[in-house]
Structure 1
Amino acid sequence: MQYLYPVFTVMLWAGNNVITKAAAGRIFPAEIGFYRWLLAGLLFTPFLLGPVLRNRAQVKPILGKVAVLGVLGMAVYQSLAYYAAGITTATNMGIILSLVPVMTLGLSIASLGTALTAGALVGAGVSFAGVLLVVSQGSWTVLVAHGVNLGDAMMLVAAFAYATYSTLLKKWQLRMPPLQLLYLQVLVAIVALFPLFLLSPKTGLNASNIPLVLYACIPVSMIAPLLWMKAISLLGPSRTTLFFNLVPILTALVAALALGEQLAVYHFIGGALTLSGVILAERWTTPLRSKPQATASKAD
């Protein structure tokens, strides 16, 4: 029963990749990015504004860090995905996002003093080879001649932004109730995205895009974080993170069924390489450098 929490979470995330792709052409990226967080903020406010205000003495010293987290994890990450969706496929988006655990591990090694392991080094190389295979459409000559598709490049930046967010979240260890921290980040995203929303052309809400906004807001922005936090509390962070590896697989399946996206051989090979690299990085934990042994005392 406890495994249902992470499984449902990754299903919602995979569905969000497909919804993000489906939103392209129905609503401008700046609109859906702003509306989803605005609605989430409005729905959270009756339950969380009071507790946050009562907790303001604890909130005030960390507002700067909360702002950075909100911009990276809520505004930059998802906004880039909405813009990328008009240029690349949902399948590519899912595979590229599967780099997040490897990127997070790399940033942790660089900034948190996490030990460099053989799995991290080999896994990073294997994962990036898989993503390069996908973004090159299985042809290195295409990659050399035309470069990386702009949408795929945006997703790489989005993945790095979320990996940075995850690393900072771990580094700073902000001692706040998780829901209050989530609520504050949602408020930051609303403020950060408002100028872009004002400057963007508008489609307006209509019957074809309101369901997409609602899905992005309620299941993905509100329910998924709660399920993920519950999964971490029951299974621990290491075991829970493994379920993130299901996102590209589920995204490809749902995109093929719902959007009619065609899966090529390079998708299967590239996706398998990317997932294999992530699993290697997470499970092969042999340190590259052995700890120095204490020098034996010399006899007189």
Structure 2
Amino acid sequence: MRYPSTEPVIVTCALTGGIHGKEANPNLPEQPDEIVEQGIAAWRAGASILHVHARNPDGSNTMDPAIYQGLHERLCAETDAVIQLTTGGSPRLPVEERLNTVLLSPEMCSLNMGLLNFFIRGEQVFFANHRSDIERFAHEIAARDVRPELEIYSAAMLEEVAHLLGLGILEPPYVLNFVLHTPTQGGTRGTPENLLDMVARARALGVPWEDLRINVTSMGPTQLPMTTIAMAMGANVRVGMEDNVMYRRGEPLENNAQLVERAARIAAELDRPVATPAQARELLALRGREDGALPEVRGELPVGVRA
């Protein structure tokens, strides 16, 4: 992360999430065909990483490994994108189920770095990401040569990052995703001042700055300004309908590709080309995969999933 930067910007597209559904925007992809179709379109628009959640046929959240394996296979077959599987899933799902995606040995996965209290349709839902759980995830991730993206919702979670990195479980580079403006108690609002503070705190983590890869995510109406600022600062960005279902005030999104296209246009104006999947793999030191194929499986697959 340099300023000013002309280095390629890695654009991640978070296709669908674990909080809102089609009640927020009927164009939100939920079922496999929808997710794959929008994933391909987002990749064509310039997303080098596709962040993937899955749903049950009724639209509810799932960590069913068979559903994730199907999505993983299809997106790897149809694109050369890096497929980043969630381990967050949903605040309502237990850790044992959330481990299923790590066991599929993707190139990347997400890893939440602390405790949050979500507000979902008027209900308080506690999101348990205890230190013991984080360490367990980290060991399983490291054993499979998966690159975790550490999801950081507040400055306090950077203390958990410092603790985790100090254990020596993970190898550099370390991918930090600042997730701003979530509908949570305990999450940081999406403001320029908060982003600058988190970057400054990241510099004090006790690891070489060159070993860090900073990504910025921000929810709802803060997505556009915060990702624009992030690209100008030299960081990578995440956009997508998991984080934002509106193109602008009063205009719902038609698909995820719209947000990727806009991010790519802004990156071009900042003289930062959008990274290809190959460039993203090099910048993040991923293990890679053969064209059209899944990454090599490391360790045992989850129960109920074919080899």
Q: Give TM-score, length-normalised by structure 2.
A: 0.27
Q: Which has the larger radius of gyration?
A: 1
Greater share of residues in strand: 2
Greater share of residues in helix: 1
Q: Give TM-score, length-normalised by structure 1.
A: 0.28
More RCO (CA 8 Å, sep 6+): 1
